Structure formats: structure tokens, C-alpha cells
Amino acid sequence: MASAIPEEKVRELARTIKTVLKSAIRNIDKNYPGLIQGEVRNFMQIHTKTKTHSPTGHPIKKADRGMLKTYYTDEQVVYK
């Protein structure tokens, strides 16, 4: 599936991943100083069970995959 993503979207995705990770690191460091293990998810905007809508108002859906759960919205794009 990854090979179906257009080149310009790959570059955009790479930039966005860096931005999101830096923001997450700052958020965790500020709210949980010294935490070096475990998962902190309460600041996530989509991939969390605590929220029902995305920042743009789309309903957050959940797909159960055995013990794993995936949270997503219809605004996310699947490239084919």
C-alpha cells in the first residue's frame, strides 16, 4: 500500500511525522517529566478512546483487530 502514496504526499507525510513527534515529546516532557516507559495517549487527537470527534468535527471510528484497536476518521485518505 505504501507504494501507492504519491511522491508529494510522502514528503508531506515525512514533514508531518516530524512535527507530530516533536510536539508529542514536548507534551509528554511537560506533563510527565522523567517518564521513560509506558504510553501516554491523552493528548492524541484521533487515536484515543477518550474523544468522539476529530479536530475538524468528523466522527472518530474504531476498528477492532483482535486485542488491538485502530481509531480513524473518514477524512483520512487510503491510496490504491
- Gap between the Cα atoms of 3 and 78, Å rounded: 12
Give me the torsion for CA of 64, 65, 71, 77, rounded to 10°: -120
Instruction: Kindly report, residue by residue over 13-40, the tens digit of the pLDDT.
Output: 999 999 988 988 888 888 888 776 767 7
- Gap between the Cα atoms of 10 and 74, Å rounded: 20
For the entire predicted model, the pTM comes to 0.56
Q: Per-residue pLDDT averaged across 54-69, rounded?
A: 89
Q: Can you give the residue ranges of every domain in the chain? A: 1-42, 44-80
Report the b/e string of 42-56 with b at 16+ CB within 10 A. Answer: eeeebeeeeeeebee
